[in-house]
A and B are shown apart, each in its own frame.
Chain A
Amino acid sequence: QKEVEQNSGPLSVPEGAIASLNCTYSDRGSQSFFWYRQYSGKSPELIMFIYSNGDKEDGRFTAQLNKASQYVSLLIRDSQPSDSATYLCAVRMADGLTFGKGTHLIIQP
């Protein structure tokens, strides 16, 4: 069974701190990795995508990929209350995108 695992949380982080979200996946052949943010009752929106090992930065967000360890993470710097949401890790496998269950992030003012 091809799986994507995330800690469901909630993960509570003080405003202004760094939030670190983690994801592991089981399909070693996966090539594309995505982070989505989902507010309650809304559809997911893309935050970051990463295809190569290493770090990819976009504003306050950094995605990190380690294919050997089958691990992908998302760092959010200078966390804001508006970052409070559920973050979904998605991995492209042969039959489409497989999503993790998401990590609920709470930024405490």
Chain B
Amino acid sequence: DGGITQSPKYLFRKEGQNVTLSCEQNLNHDAMYWYRQDPGQGLRLIYYSQIVNDFQKGDIAEGYSVSREKKESFPLTVTSAQKNPTAFYLCASTGTVNAEAFFGQGTRLTVV
């Protein structure tokens, strides 16, 4: 089955630690996105990538980093510079220009 897989589903981070969230898709989509969602809020764009080896900052990129070495993979690292990382993180991908976004199941990150 084609789709987007995010892992882990739940992640706990200690203060000052970097953590990496995985996002893999087998839909052959060119564009991939990372969104952050806080309780009762909409989706805010962190980073997006429209082709391999290229990515752009979204609205709230500070404290995050990404890479796009393969078309299928778009991992997100939450660095220690992100002071309030507790949130629900969603990865998405799109195919053609007007196509809808397909979402992974999300990763819930909590700082302990």
Report A's interface with B, CB cutoff 8 A: 6, 8, 31-32, 34, 41-46, 49, 51, 88, 90, 92, 95-102
Q: How large is the interface on B (under 10, 10 to 19, 20 to 34, 35 or more residues)?
A: 20 to 34
CA A1 to CA B5, docked complex, whole Å: 31
CB-based nearest A residue for B90: A43
CB-based nearest B residue for A92: B98
CA A23 to CA B40, docked complex, whole Å: 17
Pairwise interchain contact B103-A44, C-beta atoms closer than 8 A: yes
CB distance from B3 to the nearest CB of A (A): 11
Chain A residues whose CB sits within 8 angstroms of the CB of B42 once the complex forms: 6, 88, 99-102
Pairwise interchain contact A34-B43, C-beta atoms closer than 8 A: no
Pairwise interchain contact A99-B100, C-beta atoms closer than 8 A: no
Report B's interface with A, CB cutoff 8 A: 31, 33, 35, 40-43, 45, 48, 56, 58, 88, 90, 92, 94, 97-98, 100-106
CA A44 to CA B105, docked complex, whole Å: 9
Chain B residues whose CB sits within 8 angstroms of the CB of A32 once the complex forms: 97-98
CB distance from A25 to the nearest CB of B (A): 13
CB-based nearest A residue for B39: A40
Chain B residues whose CB sits within 8 angstroms of the CB of A49 once the complex forms: 100
CB-based nearest B residue for A35: B100
CB distance from B106 to the nearest CB of A (A): 5
CB-based nearest A residue for B102: A46
Pairwise interchain contact A96-B33, C-beta atoms closer than 8 A: yes
**The 7 A-B residue pairs with the shortest CB-CB distance in the complex, in nearest-first order:** A101-B42, A43-B103, A99-B43, A32-B98, A96-B48, A43-B106, A46-B100
